[in-house]
Amino acid sequence: MSTIYAILLPAPADLDAWRLAARRMLAAGLPPAQIDWRVAGDDAALFGEAPPDHPPSTARVPRAFIDLASVVIRHRDAARFALLYRLLWRITHGEAALLRIPTDPDVVRAEAMAKSVRRDAHKMHAFLRFREVAQPDGPRFLAWFEPEHHIEEAEAGFFVRRFAALRFSIVTPRRSIHWDGQDLAFGPGGHRCDVPAEDATEDLWRAYFAAIFNPARLKPAAMRAEMPKKYWRNMPEAADIPRLIAEAPARVREMVARGATPPTPVPQRPRLLAAESGQRAAEERPAPRDAREAALAALRARLLADATLPLAEAATQAVFGEGPVDAPLMLVGEQPGDEEDLAGCPFVGPAGRLLDAALAEARIDRARLYVTNAVKHFKYQPQGRRRLHQRPDTGDIARYRPFLLEEIALVRPRIVLAMGVTAGQALTGDARVTLSGLRGTTHELRCGTPMRATVHPAYLLRLPEGEGQRREHAMFVEDLCDAAAYAGISTSGR
């Protein structure tokens, strides 16, 4: 009978510890059947001999395996460690292209685990709700969530990026996440009673949810599939769902009897100088700010929860806009790229770094801008280990356009700068417009917001080095300066 070697891992989702142990077992030539993987604190006893202290193997594996393992290891199934080691063993013992065989049982199982983990992370992003708690040193925001898998550490960075200015704690049955505005820490799990049941913003959330609830598009089965009832008790707006569902048939009948509402004519307004336009926009800006911030948060949650969007299934996550709710200037790009898709933030990849450099050259503080994209998911074509960008088509643009228009309506910028033709088409609603036809002049959107256009930063990245690239870069910086001046943002330091 073959000897069984016991491997005790320090934590349930410690990829580095698993990799080190797996490389040692691989170097020792131990096949998967001879290893019993467990985690410290498991109820089941750990049987088997201590593993040999062998130097780690230096065998190389595809990057795709590391990427897959980093997600699968967060799954709650205790067999995940053995599955990953079995894949590793096979890849290093004659099946180097194993992950390219989508019908292989081990690959199928691993991909299903990874999908389940990603979906759990999506639920955490969409359905977690913070409650404000007054403390002597200022407010702290608490949230309760019950993840299915071991995702707490992996998803903590998402909430730090999204709520960097807040002090918050997220409590789960297994772990707790704490952010004090500067440092991230983890602690033991807790209980639902550790988090208050409600706070002063509950009524605001419920009012907004009721306002956006469309009875004519009600699909209870799809709603429960996307937002299972186990999450409802953590969401203030969920208390109204049974009532809204019950009232839906009567509201639909009222809508049909009322008929279509004719569009409100947009009055022709005289052209204003930049300073006058900025003053007028400031006077018209709605209040209170808190209500619009909550509405933006609710819009983002609705985007994350919408599984019907055409690109949602392939992308890692939706990428919503970022910036102050009262930003005077909104920048609109095409869609998230590979790095944005992974980070969940707009313009953090190569194009974002070029944009940051151009903004610095123009003496424009990005923190004062609201930055978003016309399409909120990454559209790509897999090619080996790479994900090659694909331009959104008119259907993609049209499907995501309502989210973009709601962002504009809530932020109420003094001007919108479309970066690239896709953004221009989404903002105008006209698939025939060209960048050359938009650039250099100010246009008025149907909502009355002024719009200008420029190239997308990615266009500049594709240009060969030389005089042409320098000229286009200088024009891009000038376009940013013109939009900033119209918005009332000073660039006098240039």
- Mean pLDDT is lowest, of 68-72, 147-151, 276-280, 309-313, for 276-280
Nearest to 184 by CA among 161, 214, 203: 161
Confidence of residue 308 (pLDDT cuts 50, 70, 90): confident
Q: 308: buried, middle or exposed (CB in 10 Å: 19+, 13-18, 0-12)?
A: exposed
Distance separating alpha carbons of residues 409 and 375, to the nearest angstrom: 17
Q: What is the mean pLDDT of residues 158-179?
A: 90
What is the pLDDT at residue 175? 93
Distance separating alpha carbons of residues 380 and 361, to the nearest angstrom: 31
Confidence of residue 277 (pLDDT cuts 50, 70, 90): very low
Question: Cα angle vertex 31, ends 1, 35, to 5°?
Answer: 70
pTM here?
0.50
Highest mean pLDDT among 212-216, 226-230, 286-290, 474-478: 474-478
pLDDT at 342 over 70: yes
* Beta carbons of 416 and 373 less than 8 angstroms apart: no
Instruction: State phi, psi for 69 to the nearest 5 degrees.
Output: -65, -35
Q: What is the mean pLDDT of residues 366-377?
A: 95
Total residues found in the chain within this entry: 494
Q: Which residue has the tokens 């909430």?
A: 159
- For residue 235, CA distances in Å to 156, 206, 209, 378 come to 20, 9, 11, 28
Confidence of residue 270 (pLDDT cuts 50, 70, 90): very low
Distance separating alpha carbons of residues 120 and 113, to the nearest angstrom: 11
pLDDT at 274 over 60: no
Q: What is the mean pLDDT of residues 211-230?
A: 63
pLDDT at 457 over 90: yes
- More confident site: 184 or 215: 184
pLDDT at 282 over 50: no
pLDDT at 415 over 90: yes
* Beta carbons of 99 and 72 less than 8 angstroms apart: no
Q: What is the pLDDT of residues 25-76, one digit of tens each?
A: 999 999 999 999 999 876 545 566 777 787 888 888 998 899 899 999 999 9
Give the H or E element holding residue 372: strand 370-373
Question: Cα angle vertex 387, ends 22, 429, to 5°?
Answer: 145
What is the pLDDT at residue 239? 67
Q: What is the pLDDT of residues 459-491, one digit of tens each?
A: 999 988 888 888 899 999 999 999 998 898 876
Distance separating alpha carbons of residues 157 and 379, to the nearest angstrom: 23
First-to-final CA distance of the chain: 78
What is the pLDDT at residue 80? 96
Q: Which residue has the tokens 């959107």?
A: 445
pLDDT at 280 over 60: no
pLDDT at 222 over 80: no
What is the pLDDT at residue 357? 92
pLDDT at 324 over 80: yes
- More confident site: 263 or 81: 81
pLDDT at 165 over 90: no
- Mean pLDDT is lowest, of 58-67, 196-205, 262-271, for 262-271
Q: What is the DSSP letter of 100?
A: G
The mean predicted confidence, pLDDT, of the chain is 84
Topology of domain 274-487, per CATH? Uracil-DNA Glycosylase, subunit E (3.40.470)
| Percent above pLDDT 90 for the chain | 49
Which 3 state secondary structure label does DSSP give 49? strand
- More confident site: 165 or 420: 420
pLDDT at 358 over 60: yes
Q: What is the mean pLDDT of residues 6-17?
A: 93
* Beta carbons of 480 and 359 less than 8 angstroms apart: yes
Domains of the chain, by residue range, sit at 5-119, 126-194, 206-258, 274-487
Nearest to 179 by CA among 151, 158, 200: 158
Q: Count CB-CB contacts under 10 A for residue 213.
A: 17
| Percent above pLDDT 70 for the chain | 82
